[in-house]
Amino acid sequence: MDLRYEFYINATREDVWHALISTEGTKALLFGSVLKSDFNVGDSYAYVGPGNEGEDTVHVYGTILAYEPNVQLSLLEHPGPSYRENHEELQSRITFMLETVGQCTKLTLINDQWTENHPSRESTEKSWWMILSNLKTYVETGKTLDFGW
């Protein structure tokens, strides 16, 4: 089953995009992780930050499927090696799409093409709500939500 989320953010597409890919944005939104990539279609990427293996834990990694600044980012995703022994076999596709609606940005996130019986699917379904709510708050106010973690 595909996961689909739509959020309306009181900001420009450029501001939302910056939060999604910049070092300061990803660090604020994704628990201190940085998105490492050259952002060319077909290139690899990794979200790297504090975790199970120290400061340079790979949380997720994969391949850039689409990259159109301020419009779309699509990623083939695998869980990091410290999370699942069979991480290379597990995958899904994550696509962020941005469009202008009035003075706002509509962010659509689709997380689909899951490997059958992917063990992270259920937890991912819940965590996207938190991450996207945090993104909306961060872009609109410059502050992040405190989930008590």
**Burial (CB count within 10 angstroms: exposed 0-12, middle 13-18, buried 19+), residue 40:** exposed
Average pLDDT over residues 126-138: 95
Condensed to tens digits (0 to 9), the pLDDT of residues 69-91 reads 999 999 999 999 988 889 999 99
Average pLDDT, the chain: 95
Residue 28, H or E segment: helix 23-29
pLDDT higher than threshold 90 for residue 52: no
Q: Does 148 score more than 90 pLDDT? A: no
What CATH number does domain 3-141 carry, 3.30.70.60, 3.20.20.10, 3.30.470.20, 3.30.530.20? 3.30.530.20
For 3-124, list the strands marked E by DSSP. 3-9, 34-37, 44-51, 54-68, 72-79, 92-101, 104-112
Question: Which residue ranges make up each domain of the chain?
Answer: 3-141
What's the confidence (pLDDT) of residue 10? Answer: 98
Q: What is the per-residue pLDDT for 1?
A: 77
